[in-house]
Every structure is written in C-alpha cells, then in structure tokens.
Structure 1
Amino acid sequence: MALHWKLVIDSGDAPALADFWAAALGYEVEDPSPLVTRLLAAGQLGEEAVTEHHGRTTFRGYAAIRHPDDPFDEASGVGAGRRLLFQKVPEEKSGKNRLHIDIHSEPGGLDRLVERLKSLGATPVREVDQGPAGHWWVMRDPEGNEFCAA
C-alpha cells in the first residue's frame, strides 16, 4: 500500500519561505484559517499559537504549500497530494542539504527559469555542465537551502 507523505523543511521564517517556494513551483499556499478558527473557538488552541499572514489566520511558525491540481480538505485547507510543509526552527541552517528539490524548466527555458527564480530571491551558486547531456544550475533559496534548476 502506498503511503501519503509531505516534505518538511526547517526554516527561520516559514511563511516567507512558503511564499518563495509557492511562487517558484506554481503551487498554492494552504489556507488553514477555517481549521485555526474552529480550534480557537473550541478552546483547543490558544491565541499565542496563531498569527496572521497575508490576511489569513494561520498557525504560528508553520506554512504549507500544495500542488494546485491535487485534492485538499476544504474544512482544514490541508492538501492531500504533493505538499511541502515549512516549520520554524530556532537554529540556523548549517552544512549542505542532504535532500534537495530539482525544478525542471520547459525545453529551452532554463535561462528564463533561472532569471525568474533570481527575481523571487534565489541565488545562483554554480552552473554544472554535463557536455552533450546538458547543464543545470545549483541555486539557493532565500534561506540558503540548495536546489537545482534544470
């Protein structure tokens, strides 16, 4: 039986990093405000556990994005498919990522993709040339997490 999963990414500013990755991938930022509102009203969540981001009430220190074509629970806003969850952690990133995201451009569109990612706040690190097999860019998101644009 296949299992459901999500990729969780530690972050210094979860909502800002979710915004970057949503724009980079064409994903949607999840809106958990209906769930947060219900939990607050039921006394199951305190005011200190929530914040507002882009006019939505959300969980403090967390933000998630989902593929726009995948199903999601309308009552909670939580995606049931391809999903990234960003969580605030106290420590800063140290060392190289052991897991990273590859973003694939349309054929012949790598330069446009790299420029768009740079405009969103990504930083190019180096271009990797594979000769006849092509090339790609190693880049960093706004918090320094490595990813590849190919």
Structure 2
Amino acid sequence: MIPRHITVDAANPYQLATFWSQATGWPVSADDAPGDNEVLVEAPAPVPGLLFIGVPEGKTVKNRVHLDWVPDERTRDEEVDRLVALGATVHEDHRTPDGPGWVTLRDPEGNEFCIERSAAERAE
C-alpha cells in the first residue's frame, strides 16, 4: 500500500492549493479551477499529491498530523523567510543558537507544518 494523496480540509481549496503550489513548486492540476471543491497539487512521482477538499467548518484545534519539510534549494532560514513572504506565519521557533532545530509555520488557513534544516546544513 502506498499513499496517493495527502488530503487537507480547506475553506477555500483553490486558494490554499495555490499557496502550496507556490511553496512546493508543484503545479495545481490543470483540471482544477477557482471555486472547485476539490483541488489537487500534483507532486512528482512517487511523492503523494496534496489534495485540498472544501469543508464548511473552520480549523479550531492543532493538527493531529502535519508535514515536516526539508528545503532542497535553500537553507532552513531562507525557506522560512520565503514561505512567510508567500503567506505563512511563524507559529513556534525551535531553532537553537548553534544551528539545529526547526520552525513550525502555519499556512494561510492555519494548518501547521515544519521546516527543518537542509541536507547540506545537517552535513556541516
């Protein structure tokens, strides 16, 4: 068994998918458009896509599951700055003065996710 999608409830699926498309560099499916109730961000195989489904209720508590991301083209701190510029907000900062640690961010609808150090930073 392999995962096909990671599904996220959303107030505005297309808007949230657009944020994640910009964050990941993966495209929003050509089959999807603003106003659709299901919007897919297509990941490169074999990575599962991100599927955003419209729901009537808003997010009220901490996610039970969240994604930890590792930048592949930037440092952790550069990636955090880029994502904040796209609309994410810093929720908890777990960086330490000597370099290790991670940052927990929230996407535009409040879903938590973490940015860890890049492989190059961990190798140092």
**Do these two structures clear the TM 0.5 threshold for a shared fold by scoring above it?**
yes
Query: How many equivalent pairs are there?
Result: 116
Residue from 33, 37, 45 that aligns with 1:61: 37
**Percent identical residues:** 33
Matched, 1:118 2:118: no
Distance 1:16 1:135, change over 3 A: same
Distance 1:92 1:31, change over 3 A: same
Deviations, residues 61-112 of structure 1 (Å, cap 9, x unaligned)? 1111012x33xxxxxxxxx852111011000101110111111124871111
- In the TM superposition, what is the alpha-carbon distance from 1:125 to its structure 2 partner? 1.3
- The normalised TM-score by structure 1 is 0.68
Structure 2 CA distance for aligned equivalents of residues 107 and 8 of structure 1: 25
Report the equivalent of 2:122: none
What is the one-letter code of the residue matched to 1:126? E
Could you say what secondary structure the match of 2:114 adopts?
strand
Aligned-residue CA RMSD in angstroms? 2.3
Residue from 28, 48, 52 that aligns with 1:86: 52
**1:37-52 counterparts in 2 under 5 A?**
52=33
Report the equivalent of 1:7: 6
Report the equivalent of 2:25: 26
Structure 1: 5+ residue stretches without partners: 34-51, 54-58, 71-79
Could you say what secondary structure the match of 1:10 adopts?
strand
Report the equivalent of 1:44: none
Deviations, residues 127-147 of structure 1 (Å, cap 9, x unaligned)? 114676811101100000011
Larger Rg over CA atoms: 1
Bigger share in strand: 1
- The normalised TM-score by structure 2 is 0.81
Structure 2 CA distance for aligned equivalents of residues 20 and 135 of structure 1: 24
Structure 2 CA distance for aligned equivalents of residues 94 and 14 of structure 1: 17
